[in-house]
Structure 1
Amino acid sequence: MLSTKLHAQYDGIKVLANGKNFTVNPTEIYLFQSELQTNKILSFERVLLACHITTFKHDEKNPFPSNELLASQFKKSVRAIAAGVSDILKTGLFINEKGKYGTDKRKNTYNITPFLNLLGVFVEHFREGKAYDFKELYNGVIKGVLKAEKGKIEEKVEAPKLEELPEAITEALNAVENEEHRTILEKEIRRNMNRLDEETLIYYIDRIQEKFDSSKGTFASASYTFYKAANNGDIEKHKQMDAERYKRNTGNSKGRKEIEPEFLKEQKEAEKEYRKECPIAQRERQAHNAEVDRIVSEGLQKAYVEETGLDVEADNGFPYMTWKMNLMMELPEGAKEEVGSSEIAIYNRIYPNSVQSHRKIV
């Protein structure tokens, strides 16, 4: 796999852009080599040899390539390489520290700190646009007067370890087949662990998957909304509400009976009454109810934004609709019929000093 940057830099040539056998050098390295040669500190061949030896430094240890290896790479004799290394050592840019690693106390290892310091000091002056005499920089480094500024190693901050979830919650999450959904649910569970009990946390894993509608928003927004509105004891409350709903729909009749929805009954009754109403009263009632609907709509949107900090149209309005749905489920029986709609009933609970109601046909 080629690095995108190296691919562009080396024109897509595989062997140059595959990121293997690379060493990082400042772009001024070639100017530095020229200065070493121009100021007669090292010959061109010795500059190349010195720079090549530095590529064997891979950590804090001294590089220690053998003369035999260098001779084979440069296609020179071992004697010629030994002479070249000797000339580099005479400049003081390399320091021979024999037998520093391993059991062979005769093996050469090269402390290249002076060489790197001179390179660093040169690059500092060049990049800052300072006037310099390269020979003076060299003498200052060799005498220990000049040193390149050292940077600090960026400490890697380890991410805090997540608290282990209770076994029952882990089992419930593992049962979620969609990996992305499982990750989102775990995030919301951890966010609400100090507020909700274990039973409620597990209950909403199934409830969210059951109620989620992808056409109305993302799974993440649905999970956030459901858990934010959740309270301990919701399981029992939802059971009671389901039982009451079932009782209203079935009554005490025996055998199968087609159930007419409540809203359809209300609609039919309203149509009957509508026909009895005079035109003037009809227009006044319609205008009044339209104004009430506007006030209620604006009031609920304002309350939602203040409570959640979210926009009502975020995620196609799904979190806002879920918020209203949860409030509707908390309405006492008959609240909707008293004022004309569930939204008005919710509004009146939020704004008790500004009670609204649809005007009915008298």
Structure 2
Amino acid sequence: MFGLDPFLLSLIGTVLLATFVPCHGAAVPVFRWLAIIVIAMMFFLQGARLSRKAVVEGLTAWRLHLMILCCTFVLFPLLGLALHAAFPGLLQNEVWLGVLFLCCLPSTVQSSIAFTSIGGGNVPAAVCAATASNVFGIFITPFLVGLVLARHGGQSGGVMDIVFQLLLPFVLGQVLQPWIGAWAHRNKKLLSMTDRGSILIVVYTAFSDAVIQGLWHRLPLSELGLIAVVDFLLLVCVLVITAFGSRLVGMPLRDEIAVVFCGSKKTLASGVPMANVLFPPASVGLVVLPLMIYHQIQLFVCAVLARKFAVMMKKHEAEKALLTPAEVGE
């Protein structure tokens, strides 16, 4: 849990491959079309794997989810805009767009649920919240990115690109879910490898383009450190706000844990393909850097936090066991 994520190591290897052996010439359109195809396939499989019950629960269990969705799609973008306004010259413009793009993304599924479980939190709520975040994210993230880029002079992909590469495959997967959903669940590991392979293809294509455009000449090593600092500040701010916000509204500790972990996560799995659709090819490499760094930071920090929450839950349960029935009901 505390070591480097194996998938992150694969991403680093892919970036190194693109740095020393970038695709160029006749291979460029081939890889771009391949990236489009694997993105569509990935969102199709996401739709196929999500049961109708999970989607409905994720959309209708609104009390807990409303707070998580507000953290994911309101608090994060506001914090990102505030940081950009306070330190506009700290990062290059395209890197700032990457930070703002990160702030517009939905939550993760697997790690949100895993950390909630380790911390002793409300796992069913985490499952529904992560599902709802990803379902809504397909619609909300492109809209938020459009608003942010319009304000800060960037360009995003057209509406039809978003519809055909993201939304339509997801809806088609949902339509066919009753027939292929069981197969998708039986082959979850194989499909997970397919998803990750798709992301690696997109990253290789994006970074190849960026390297040919002079990425490593434009991005000094010191800026990677600054990106990590900005990502860390974002994560800490959200963790503090979600924890104290949950207590302020009187949520039990189990629900607070779900809010903290689901509300602070950002998905790498959907984020990289979305960036490939929403940004020009020459910009994608720089745009996804903040997301890749944030992904590893959130794993480290939340691993430590999950252990602390687990201790808190044991202490809470022990204190609760000492109370009389009358005191518990109060």
Whether the TM-score (by the shorter chain) exceeds 0.5 is: no
Please, what TM-score do these two structures have when normalized by structure 2?
Answer: 0.20
Which fold has the larger relative contact order, with Cα–Cα distance below 8 Å and residues 6 or more apart in sequence?
2
More helix by share: 2
Please, what TM-score do these two structures have when normalized by structure 1?
Answer: 0.19
